[in-house]
Amino acid sequence: MTANAATAATATETRSRRDPQAGPPPGVLAVVFTALFLAGLVLSTLLAGGDPFPSPFDSTDTVTSYFRDHTGAVRISGALQFAASVPLAIYAATVSARLHKLGVRAPGATIALAGGVLASAFLACSGLVTWVLSRPEVAAHADLVRALQYLAFGLGGPAHVVLLGLLIAGIAVPGLLAGLLPRAFAVAGLTVAAVAELSTLVLLVDGAALLLPVARFAGLLWLIAAGFLLPRRRVRTEG
Q: Give residue-wise pLDDT tens across range 3-25.
A: 444 444 444 444 445 555 567 89
Residue 90 · residue 157 · CB < 8 Å? no
Q: Collapsing DSSP states into helix, strand and coil, what is residue 140? A: coil
Q: Collapsing DSSP states into helix, strand and coil, what is residue 223? A: helix
Residues with Cβ within 8 Å of 19's Cβ and at least 6 positions away in sequence, in order, are 232
Where the chain has pLDDT below 70, the residues are 1-22, 234-239
The crossing angle, in degrees rounded to 10, of helices 211-229 and 26-47 is 150
* Model pLDDT, residue 103: 87
* Model pLDDT, residue 22: 61
The predicted-structure confidence for 141-185, as pLDDT tens digits, reads as follows 999 999 999 999 999 999 999 999 999 999 999 999 989 999 999
Separation of alpha carbons 74 and 132, rounded Å = 9
Using a CB cutoff of 8 Å and minimum separation of 24, what contacts does 21-26 make? 22/98, 22/232, 23/90, 23/93, 23/94, 23/97, 23/98, 24/90, 24/94, 25/227, 25/228, 26/91, 26/94, 26/95, 26/98, 26/226, 26/227, 26/228, 26/230
Separation of alpha carbons 94 and 102, rounded Å = 12
Separation of alpha carbons 64 and 54, rounded Å = 9
Element (H, E) at 162: helix 160-177
CA 159 to chain CA centroid, nearest Å: 12
* Model pLDDT, residue 235: 55
Separation of alpha carbons 229 and 116, rounded Å = 18
* Model pLDDT, residue 160: 98
